[in-house]
Amino acid sequence: MKIKMLAAAALLSLAISSPTFAIVPQPEKCPSVDLLQQSNIEHASYMEEHHAWIAIAPPQNYDTKDKWVLMVMPILAKDESEAVVNGQKSLNFIKFLKGPESTIGPMWDCTYTNNSNQFIIANTGFFIKK
């Protein structure tokens, strides 16, 4: 439950700062573990209320028709740079847990974990246009 709240807070933060977002129907499948492990974590957001970082990879399709934002949480780090590095390392031992499942409104999550019991969430339902 706490992880879902972290994810929801991160998604809302991204959505508010995004210039545009698009609602999508239920995805056919979740991104494959192999492709998620090849993601590049580019930034991290500090969630002050949880005293932890959420590392984030830019939106990608992976092996699906949908765009997914990848988040790794919680990340303990002294600053954003360290959180990005730690988030990248966290992708090495991913295993699929569940999904796609409906989350906030018509957004969808695929949930994974790793050997450090962190949660890796691929979310679709909006994407950031750059």
Structure tokens at 110: 């695929």
pLDDT one-digit tens code per residue, 10-66: 554 444 344 444 556 889 999 999 999 999 999 999 999 999 999 999 999 999 999
pLDDT of residue 106: 75
The residue-averaged pLDDT of 85-104 equals: 94
pTM of the model: 0.79
d(CA 85, CA 102): 30
* In the block, residue with structure tokens 């499942």: 101
Single out the residue of 38, 16, 114, 105 nearest to residue 74, CA to CA.
114
